[in-house]
Amino acid sequence: MQNQSSHVYHKEAARALGGELRQIREKSGISVADVAQRLKLSEQQIEALEKGDYSSFAGVVFVMGFLRSYARMINMDTSEIEGRLQTVVPQESSHAYLVNRKEDGGFDYREGGKTAFPKWILALAALLLVGGGIYAWQNKSQTENNRQNEADSNAVQNSLQAPALQASNVTVSPMTEESSMEVAASDTLKQAAASEPVVPEVSVAADELWIKPHYRSRLVIRDNSGKLVFEGIVAAGSEHRERGGAPYEVWIGIAAEAQANFGGTPIDLKAYRREGRKSVSFRAGK
């Protein structure tokens, strides 16, 4: 790796990441023009990102944003792209840097000046904190007084209304065997109802794909020709159906508790989830 004081990014890691982005893009059938239109960049700049050459950009901080947007567009895992960016541009948490372009395409760092924090903001914050404390104390005292008054009133009413219970005026009736059986049966039914999972009733045609995410999530569906038939953010609990394009390649960004069905047969999404991943990718249909 080159000297970090004169170069922001690791060029070998940048070329490796760019090549991987290009391979995923080509495999997904997405053109350079499509990426350029989505990222609001020129096709030459997209090709530069895929080559790991950042010399045509204003600064590496903008390049990192473009790479994240590129990765999201081709459905690259968020945690994976963040890890790759760390290898391209190691983060420095203890300094603020300004960036200068050089002829060789690298960038120079120099520590930026820090401005003093306005004192009047601190004074205003202290004043608001004191005022809030006084208000909270007064409100708490009033609430406690109201609760005490209510408790005293209830105690007086109970002492006046509650009848005295004595052994001479209390009758205890033994529970019959029939009553005991009815109570036991009722408890058994309640326990069975509580433990039985609720299976949603959904009607799905023989060649139809049905998807229902539990959380708000990104959903991507491609048909048997690789054509993108749906891609976007869907609402929690929404239903999505596709017909006539099986088998389908499906990707759900947040797959926890999501449901899927093809041709009336539920699909166990847990079987497709990889450990540590929120998303799931699976094939539906023959």
Q: Which residues, other chains included, contact 264 with Cβ-Cβ below 8 Å and sequence gap of 6+?
A: 204, 205, 206
> What is the four-CA torsion angle of 223, 229, 231, 236, rounded to 10 degrees?
-90
Q: What is the mean pLDDT of the chain?
A: 77
Taking residues 190-205, report their average pLDDT. 62
Mean pLDDT of 2-27: 78
Ramachandran quadrant class, 226 (left: phi over 0; alpha: psi -120 to 50; beta: rest): left
Task: Provide the terminal-to-terminal Cα distance of the chain, rounded to the nearest Å.
Answer: 49
Q: What pLDDT does 102 receive? A: 39
Cβ atoms of 60 and 54 closer than 8 Å = yes
Per-residue confidence (pLDDT) for residue 257, from 0 to 100: 93
d(CA 203, CA 114): 63
**pLDDT at residue 194 tops 60:** no
What interhelical angle do 43-51 and 32-39 show, nearest 10? 100
What predicted TM-score, i.e. pTM, was given to this entire model?
Answer: 0.34
Confidence of residue 211 (pLDDT cuts 50, 70, 90): very high
So what's the pLDDT on residue 238? Answer: 95
Smallest CA-to-CA distance from 30 within 70, 66, 62, 65 is with: 70
pLDDT tens-digit readout, 18-62 = 999 999 999 999 999 999 999 999 999 999 999 999 988 988 889
Q: What percent of the chain has pLDDT over 90?
A: 41
- Amino acid code (one letter) for 229: V
- How far is 25 from 219, CA to CA, in rounded Å? 17
Model pLDDT for residues 257-281, shown as the tens digit of each residue: 999 999 899 999 989 988 888 899 9
Kind and range of the H or E run holding 111: strand 107-111
> Could you tell me the CATH superfamily of domain 11-111?
lambda repressor-like DNA-binding domains (1.10.260.40)
Confidence of residue 173 (pLDDT cuts 50, 70, 90): low
Q: How far apart are CA 45 and CA 36, in angstroms?
A: 8
The two tokens of residue 214 are: 């539990």
